[in-house]
A and B are shown apart, each in its own frame.
Chain A
Amino acid sequence: MPEKKSDIMDKIADANKSVVTGIDEKDIEHWITISILGRKYQVPAGLTIMQAMEFAGYRFIRSCGCRAGFCGACATVYRLEGDYRLRTAMACQTRVEDGMYLTQIPFTPAEKAKYDITKLTPGIEALLHNYPEILRCLGCNACTKACPQDIDVMEYIAAGKRGDVEKMAEISFDCIQCGLCAIRCPAELAQYNYAQLARRLYGRYGTPKPEHLKNRVKEIGQDKFKDDFDKLLSGNEDELRKMYTSRDIEKA
């Protein structure tokens, strides 16, 4: 059977081809020069660091996970020509700039404590017991400057030193555990692991389970919805459709 075609689908595929099949240099008008691990490449302007590296011929194994700023796999450090500053970025979320020279940090060695969350009490003891080194923080702010999520890392470490688990949890919430703060820390801390502990402590002990959840769990234990399900599972499709279309909808 010859395949039927859809003009609309063809048009959509054509509009998307650079992100789907790799970039064709014929389509590019503006170019810049970057250097990857010390070697120069001409790449299209306007790509992310990740896309530019792929354009240059790198096929990622490490340093590429979600491609969307959530997983922290693509930690990158770079400088710009003529600028002394060492900068940090997520390769999938940062546009390449002319004169950028970069390398990636696919893995950060960092100690993680093993603990049983049910046996801890939120506060300074839990943090100090698992991560006594937290007191070594010098307050230099290098971590905060390095954080691609714009988290005030130094501030959450300071909160941790005071045993303020709630503050530490809240400030650190957007952490994607990329490790860039740890790499920059002169006190050799692994900040993001401490923040993970703080968030779990706060989640478990600082925000008690809602009553409505406890009630529902109890009801399920008592098989309260059995009759409803019996009805749903024995209904034929017409009946189910009727029930579906006539169900009331709560205002968003």
Chain B
Amino acid sequence: MAELKFIGGYPEYMRKLIDVVNKTRQQRKDYTPKAMTMQERDEVLKVHPDYAPGGKRVISIGPNKGDTAPNEVADLLEAYPLIEGNEVDVTKPDYSVDLLIIGGGLAGTTAAVWAVDKGVAKDTILLVNKLRHGDANSIMAEGGTQAADRENDSPARHFLDALGGGHFTNKPDVLRALVEDAPLIMDWLCDLGAMIDREDDGGFVEKAGGGTSRRRMHACKDYTGLEELRVIKDEFRNLEIPYLEYYPVIEFLTDGNRVTGAVLYNLETGDYKIVQAEATILATGGFGRLHVRGFPTTNHYGATCDGVVLAYRVGAKLRDTDTVQYHPTGAAYPQQIIGLLLTEKLRSMGAQPVNKNGEAFVFPLEPRDVEAASFIRECYVNEKGVITPTGMRGIWLDTPMIELKNGEGTIEKSFPGMFRMFNRFDLDIRKDPVLVFPTLHYQNGGVETDPWGKTNIDGLWVAGEVSGGVHGKNRLMGNSTLDCLVFGRRSGISVAEYLKSNPKHGKLTLDHLKSYTQMLKDAGVNTTRKAPILLPDYRGKAILARMIDVF
């Protein structure tokens, strides 16, 4: 193949296609395609990865036996533990604490800070992280956090928006907690000193998001999660709450009924540690790195579904395992950043999805599943996508429209992160549109909880993306960081309350593994698969073919 000639970061043939988009921009400026009717939505959803044939199966064991889940998730539920039990001595705890928190994203870190606020002594808490504290999906949230705090808005309206977005499958009492606590969370973030975008008059800048009927998205430029998490983490450090890094949990311990602790694995040295805990908050985030249906992902390196696997083994109930959220606008070009997120806020501020003929073909702020499906249809059914040099297809997101509508300089001011990311690869999103395709973004379902994060298993609370119910089968933008903050806080408070009753440490056993393994065998699950997988593996194929195990 001849060397591709690049102009402004794009090969020549893509450059020509960009000219087509440039030509139609002015006439698209005052035109927005109509939002779809419910029937039209149903029709386009047929090519959404959740609804297209294949890709899922029925879970064969455990509390959710009979429910469906993506194959990649079912594979992990139907997998054998990393340890059998006899190789570790679980009877001598290395750490004996009141509260164990697993995962230090927004949910886990918030839980710790609120537990201390409600009287749990800091030295009786331990937060464990698989990677560094803060290497998490939370730090990547760009677009914003929803909270109904403007006069023309209300928590009830927020409730209705989320319910409709979730196809009326959300768990109502949990959803109510989410929306009613939202303004309190904003208040708390202000107290901590988070820098939330402000209007000239001091009010919050609030934008619309897909499926919201009022402008209620609070952002910190396009570094919302970074700002929220680094502020809360700073508070966590000031409180001197103990934490460990590179120490994932690989199994819970139970006394037969109740979660009483966990087994940690040192990723670097390979040894294990035993934690005994009276209460445990599971906040391990999502599963993007499972690459469901072969999709790229926006998620961080450690998003491998560990929490769901661990909780399921001790009998925790899951919910809504059958749906996955694909974000419509993942980067499709250049190769180096495929799958990474282009925030929905770009569309909130005017960026239009456009096909290769330069036509706006879809209302830009449909719910995420509908928007994503319409991109897939445009590329693979209508054949109006753009094909990249590596064979990916995508449609244009016309970012220069943002400047046309809001004035020059808007992109650098409101999207410094996006601008910088593309700039590093010689692309200028102020001048050229960017190529996008849906990317695996969010684990909609997860472990079922009550409005205080409690699960059906004693001693086990759950908060954040690992939980299920609050968003039903589809989450709206800005409700997930909120979910982490609200239920991180609530689970921290709830555990503090629980600890006041002076619960005793329970026995530490791995007995639940025996019964789980037996269930797998009885169901005829014949496999060498093990879970949790902890980290994905992207090593080159040629190298893997030559690996030998020497020591």
Q: Which residues of A contact B (CB under 8 A)?
A: 3-6, 8-9, 11-25, 29, 46-48, 51, 54-62, 64-71, 73, 93-95, 112, 114-118, 149-150, 169, 173-174, 176-177, 196, 199-205, 207-217, 220, 225, 228-229, 232-233, 237, 240-241, 243-245, 247-250, 252
Q: Is B132 an interface residue (CB 8 A)?
A: yes
Contacting residues, chain B, for A57 (C-beta < 8 A): 539-540, 543
Sampled A-B contacts (5; CB under 8 Å): A12-B295, A22-B541, A65-B134, A249-B213, A250-B214
A169/B195 contact (C-beta < 8 A), A54-B539, A66-B135 known: yes
User: Contact between A66 and B194 (Cβ–Cβ < 8 Å)?
Assistant: no
Give chain A nearest CB distance to B183 CB in angstroms: 4
Give chain A nearest CB distance to B215 CB in angstroms: 6
The B25-44 residues at the A interface (CB cut-off 8 A) are: 38
Q: Is B160 an interface residue (CB 8 A)?
A: yes
Contacting residues, chain A, for B296 (C-beta < 8 A): 16, 19-20
User: Contact between A250 and B180 (Cβ–Cβ < 8 Å)?
Assistant: no
Residue in chain B with minimal CB distance to A46: B335
What are the interface flags for B78-97 relative to A under an 8 Å C-beta threshold, 1 for contact and 0 otherwise? 00000000000000000000
User: Contact between A70 and B540 (Cβ–Cβ < 8 Å)?
Assistant: no
Q: Which of B176, B196, B227, B537 is close to A22, meaning CB atoms less than 8 Å apart? A: B537
Q: Which of B110-118, B228-236, B498-506, B511-519 faces chain A?
A: B228-236
The B120-149 residues at the A interface (CB cut-off 8 A) are: 131-132, 134-136, 139-140, 148-149
Report which residue of A17, A60, A71, A220 has the largest number of chain B beta carbons within 10 angstroms of its beta carbon: A71
Report which residue of B164, B225, B231, B294 has the largest number of chain A beta carbons within 10 angstroms of its beta carbon: B294
A250/B152 contact (C-beta < 8 A), A203-B194, A204-B193 known: yes
Q: Is B381 an interface residue (CB 8 A)?
A: yes
Q: How far is the CA of A232 from the CA of B272 in the complex (A)?
A: 49
Q: Which of A18, A177, A213, A250 is close to B149, meaning CB atoms less than 8 Å apart? A: A213
Q: Is B315 an interface residue (CB 8 A)?
A: no
Contacting residues, chain A, for B135 (C-beta < 8 A): 64-66, 71, 73
User: Contact between A176 and B226 (Cβ–Cβ < 8 Å)?
Assistant: yes
The B140-180 residues at the A interface (CB cut-off 8 A) are: 140, 148-152, 154-157, 159-161, 163-164, 168, 172-173, 176, 180
Q: Is B348 an interface residue (CB 8 A)?
A: yes
Contacting residues, chain B, for A115 (C-beta < 8 A): 238
Q: Is B47 an interface residue (CB 8 A)?
A: yes
Q: How far is the CA of A210 from the CA of B142 in the complex (A)?
A: 22
User: Contact between A54 and B538 (Cβ–Cβ < 8 Å)?
Assistant: yes
User: Contact between A196 and B234 (Cβ–Cβ < 8 Å)?
Assistant: yes
Residue in chain A with minimal CB distance to B1: A29
Q: Is B391 an interface residue (CB 8 A)?
A: yes
Q: Which of B154, B215, B293 is close to A12, meaning CB atoms less than 8 Å apart? A: B293
Contacts A60-B535, A228-B155 known; list 7 others, CB within 8 Å.
A13-B295, A22-B538, A68-B340, A69-B417, A220-B183, A225-B156, A250-B214
Number of interface residues of B (CB under 8 A): 112
Q: How far is the CA of A141 from the CA of B542 in the complex (A)?
A: 43
Residue in chain B with minimal CB distance to A25: B542
User: Contact between B538 and A202 (Cβ–Cβ < 8 Å)?
Assistant: no
Q: How far is the CA of A202 from the CA of B220 in the complex (A)?
A: 14
User: Contact between B202 and A210 (Cβ–Cβ < 8 Å)?
Assistant: yes
Q: How far is the CA of A212 from the CA of B544 in the complex (A)?
A: 58
Q: How far is the CA of A48 from the CA of B340 in the complex (A)?
A: 13
User: Contact between B140 and A6 (Cβ–Cβ < 8 Å)?
Assistant: no
Q: Is B453 an interface residue (CB 8 A)?
A: no
The B275-314 residues at the A interface (CB cut-off 8 A) are: 291, 293-296, 298, 300-302
Contacting residues, chain A, for B47 (C-beta < 8 A): 8
User: Contact between A240 and B208 (Cβ–Cβ < 8 Å)?
Assistant: no
What are the interface flags for B334-345 relative to A under an 8 Å C-beta threshold, 1 for contact and 0 otherwise? 111111110000
Give chain B nearest CB distance to A66 CB in angstroms: 5
Report which residue of A17, A65, A209 has the largest number of chain B beta carbons within 10 angstroms of its beta carbon: A65
User: Contact between A114 and B154 (Cβ–Cβ < 8 Å)?
Assistant: no
Q: How far is the CA of A177 from the CA of B213 in the complex (A)?
A: 36
Residue in chain A with minimal CB distance to B184: A217
Q: How far is the CA of A212 from the CA of B205 in the complex (A)?
A: 12
A220/B184 contact (C-beta < 8 A), A47-B335, A173-B195, A233-B172 known: yes
Q: Is B273 an interface residue (CB 8 A)?
A: no
The B394-427 residues at the A interface (CB cut-off 8 A) are: 416-417, 420-421, 424-425
Contacting residues, chain A, for B194 (C-beta < 8 A): 200, 203
A114/B214 contact (C-beta < 8 A), A5-B54, A6-B52 known: no
Give chain A nearest CB distance to B82 CB in angstroms: 16
A95/B293 contact (C-beta < 8 A), A8-B376, A71-B134, A200-B234 known: no
Q: How far is the CA of A251 from the CA of B140 in the complex (A)?
A: 28
Report which residue of A4, A16, A249 has the largest number of chain B beta carbons within 10 angstroms of its beta carbon: A16
A217/B183 contact (C-beta < 8 A), A12-B293, A250-B214 known: yes
Give chain A nearest CB distance to B242 CB in angstroms: 14
Q: Which of A56, A203, A252 is close to B543, meaning CB atoms less than 8 Å apart? A: A56
Q: Is B524 an interface residue (CB 8 A)?
A: no
Q: How far is the CA of A69 from the CA of B57 in the complex (A)?
A: 35
Q: How far is the CA of A207 from the CA of B1 in the complex (A)?
A: 57
Contacting residues, chain A, for B370 (C-beta < 8 A): none
A69/B420 contact (C-beta < 8 A), A51-B538, A209-B187, A217-B183 known: yes
User: Contact between B293 and A202 (Cβ–Cβ < 8 Å)?
Assistant: no
Report which residue of B151, B157, B295, B538 has the largest number of chain A beta carbons within 10 angstroms of its beta carbon: B538
User: Contact between B300 and A203 (Cβ–Cβ < 8 Å)?
Assistant: no
A149/B168 contact (C-beta < 8 A), A17-B294, A174-B223, A250-B208 known: no
